[in-house]
A and B are shown apart, each in its own frame.
Chain A
């Protein structure tokens, strides 16, 4: 069964701690993406990677970091520098050719107190 897995579903952290969100895909997609979703704001792009060992900042990259060491995996670290980390985080992947539709994982809800 092909798809995208994100773990864990719910994550709780204390303020000041870094936390890493997992994203794995077995769709053989080259491109992977991280989005943040807040109520009433749609999805905002954090980081994306079109190919292994390369990634670019999205619209709201400050306070986040990523790595892309394997095609299947694109972990996101939420650092203590992120001012409002509590949100729903979605990972997606796509092929590099048209029509470029993105497939999404089930999401991770991060709560920082």
Chain B
């Protein structure tokens, strides 16, 4: 079965500093990789996605992620964090098997931004 691991439960970063959130997955089939962000009490918003092509993908709000097949990783980065980036971030991996498609989510990483 597929699994997605976000090793860091909580990260605190200073405003203006860089941010990296880790995501590792175990998978065998063709897969699709996503990062979502969630503010408290809200739904999830898609930040970026990867399914083919350039392994460095750009997303919204200045985020980027790099797919490394050899390491089974899809880490999210932002060069300079803003206070509004405080939220919970979820990595997700999708698998297609025939007509069936499902996403598996990591447990999430909460990001706190200090002034």
Contact = CB atoms under 8 A, between A and B. Distances in A.
Given A101-B49, A104-B43, A42 B32 contact: no
Contacts of B51: 98-100
A103 B102 CA distance: 13
A96 B107 contact: no
Contacts of A44: 105
Looking at chain B's contact residues, is the secondary structure mostly helix, strand, loop, or mixed? strand
Contacts of A90: 43-44
A96 B43 contact: no
B108 A45 contact: no
B96 interface: yes
A40 B43 contact: no
Nearest to A105: B43
A107 B41 contact: yes
B100 A42 contact: no
B107 A104 contact: no
A68 interface: no
Closest 9 CB pairs of A and B: A104-B43, A99-B51, A42-B105, A104-B44, A42-B107, A43-B105, A106-B43, A99-B32, A107-B43
11 contacts: A4-B43, A40-B9, A42-B105, A43-B44, A43-B90, A43-B105, A98-B96, A100-B32, A102-B92, A104-B44, A105-B43
